Amino acid sequence: MHKPDPKSRPPTAAARETAVEGQALNAIPWHSLSDEQQILQQLGTTLEGLSADEAATRLQQYGPNALTPPKKPGFLAKLWAQLNNVLIFILLAAAIVVAGLQEWIEFGLIIGVIAVNVLIGMIQEGKAEKAAEAIKAMLSSSANVFRDGKRISVDADQLVPGDVVAIKSGDRLPADLRLLQVTNLQVQEAMLTGESVPISKNLIPVAETAGLGDRKCMAFSATTVSAGQGLGVVVATGDNAEIGKINKLVSEVKNVKTNLII
């Protein structure tokens, strides 16, 4: 694998102005771009990576490379979310009526149905919270990145779009990368694509509509390098990465209606 050219310079202010002006990074189909220089220019960077100052500026602009934690409501909020349902209110009204009639068996049955429904709903909500925590645990804690032309190790949450990252066998990907150089690179992407075998990566662009599994010129955050090595430029971090989109979907799951009240 070729090393970055030490003669190349960090991007100038003019170059940065051309970097994705007026267009969101995640709207660009990085997997369909074929020219390495075009990719780097879009991101306002070079193979030498960003300067420390530019990286700090982008960190302020894009935020840390971390997933937004899901909101965790308290017990009473969870309980109310399960009780706040028209059918539950009807059952409660029925329970009051049968209690007034001293029909204690029917009263017990109705209260039992409500209790079971609430219990199932809270268990389902707890599973969704655990799923979000499991996704966060998949993220890498560090990354080998080029800054000011030097290869250094930084905390993964300090990565920003435009950083040039080196990856090798055993690494967990710290962000979504558009690959620039690969040497027998294989990545395990089962968590994203469902493929049970590692994917052999290359630099060949694909159609904009290609699925994640077909984007072999890309490497995605939280997946694992099973063989080889490569060099890629960060195109998405945190919630904008593919794993971040999954985390957002999991976090936004609404309270599930159980079979008892459907």
pLDDT, position 69: 75
Contacts of 109 (CB under 8 A, 6+ apart): none
The 10s digit of each residue's pLDDT in 45-58 is 999 999 999 999 99
Q: Give the helix/strand (H/E) hosting 163.
A: none
Average pLDDT of the chain is 84
The owner of tokens 């039992």 is 112
Inter-helix orientation angle 86-100/104-137, to 10°: 150
169 or 20: whose pLDDT is higher? 169
The 10s digit of each residue's pLDDT in 133-184 is 666 667 778 999 999 999 999 999 999 999 999 999 999 999 999 999 999 9
pLDDT band at 16, cuts 50/70/90?
Answer: very low
Alpha helices in the chain (DSSP H): 13-17, 36-42, 52-62, 75-83, 86-100, 104-137, 190-193, 242-251
Q: What is the pTM of this model?
A: 0.71
The 10s digit of each residue's pLDDT in 196-221 is 899 999 999 999 999 999 999 999 99
Highest-confidence segment of 92-106, 119-133, 143-157: 143-157
pLDDT band at 3, cuts 50/70/90?
Answer: low
Please return the burial class of 2, using the count of CB atoms within 10 Å of its CB with bins 0-12, 13-18 and 19+.
exposed
Q: Compute the C-alpha angle 197/183/33, nearest 5°.
A: 85
